[in-house]
């Protein structure tokens, strides 16, 4: 079976105050206003499996009404308003699912499921400065990889908050994963393009799917987040 997979940080309304969105149409910044645009983008991706990050309950509820998806929702800990949501087409069998909270006491979580003999992991790694001696993202990635060390062939779909050749990506590479999307930029840091979102595979084949999205000028009605989605074909049993 060949699955069309995507990873997409949808930008929680709760975090809109953390960035500069002065270029965005004001009506898109009203809480809940981006939900229909996100749903339309998700439908247009025509994916079989979609890992979403920074998802809030109103989007979960809206997607549940579509009837197109099995929804696997894991809210962050410590009463955070968002979490990870994995969408799987109704005709695809999910044989196992679990949520795991990182042991560092942060609010971040990771999701695991098995589809067609392949383990799929969805997570949002916490950001930290590259030179931070207590880099929380490094600790979380090590924990993620320990869990995945006993899994079958594996796909990681994540906002890893790190660029290729950064410390988080280096750990994933050293664990034998192939970065499917390479250096495709998915967000802007300042005015600089950055490949912060990851599809990585180990023990199976995958092929990058190029999309028409670009990180400049977002959020917009066409791409209603400060990230763009990344996509790949993944081979399963």
Tokens of 114: 């098995």
Class of domain 2-235: alpha beta
Q: What is the pLDDT of residues 125-168, one digit of tens each?
A: 999 888 888 899 999 999 999 999 887 899 999 999 998 889 99
Segment 159-184 shows an average pLDDT of 94
| Structural domain boundaries in the chain | 2-235
Tell me the percentage of the chain whose pLDDT exceeds 90. 86
Residue 87 scores a pLDDT above 80: yes
Q: What is the pTM of this model?
A: 0.96
> Which residues touch 155 (CB under 8 Å, ≥6 apart)?
5, 118, 119, 120, 121, 199, 200, 201, 204, 206, 234
pLDDT of 165 reads 86
């Amino acid at each position: 079976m060949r699955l069309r997979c995507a990873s997409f940080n949808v930008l929680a309304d709760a975090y809109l105050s953390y960035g500069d969105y002065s270029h965005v149409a004001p009506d898109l910044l009203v809480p809940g206003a981006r939900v229909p645009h996100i749903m339309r983008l998700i439908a247009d991706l025509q994916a079989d499996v979609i890992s979403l990050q920074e998802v809030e309950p109103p989007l979960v509820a809206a997607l549940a009404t579509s009837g197109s998806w099995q929804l696997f929702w894991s809210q962050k800990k410590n009463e955070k308003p968002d979490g990870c949501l994995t969408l799987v087409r109704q005709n695809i069998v999910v044989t196992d699912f679990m949520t795991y909270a990182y042991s560092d006491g942060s609010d971040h979580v990771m999701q695991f499921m098995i589809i067609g003999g392949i383990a799929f992991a969805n997570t949002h790694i916490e950001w930290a400065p590259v030179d931070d001696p207590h880099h929380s993202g490094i600790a979380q990635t090590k924990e993620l990889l320990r869990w995945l060390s006993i899994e079958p062939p594996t796909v990681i779909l994540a906002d890893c908050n790190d660029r290729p050749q950064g410390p988080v990506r280096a750990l994933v590479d050293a664990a034998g994963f192939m970065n499917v999307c390479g250096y495709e930029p998915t967000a802007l840091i300042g005015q600089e393009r950055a490949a912060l979102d990851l599809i990585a595979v180990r023990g199976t084949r995958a092929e990058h799917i190029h999309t028409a999205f670009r990180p400049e000028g977002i959020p917009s009605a066409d791409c209603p987040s400060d990230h763009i989605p990344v996509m790949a074909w993944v081979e399963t049993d």
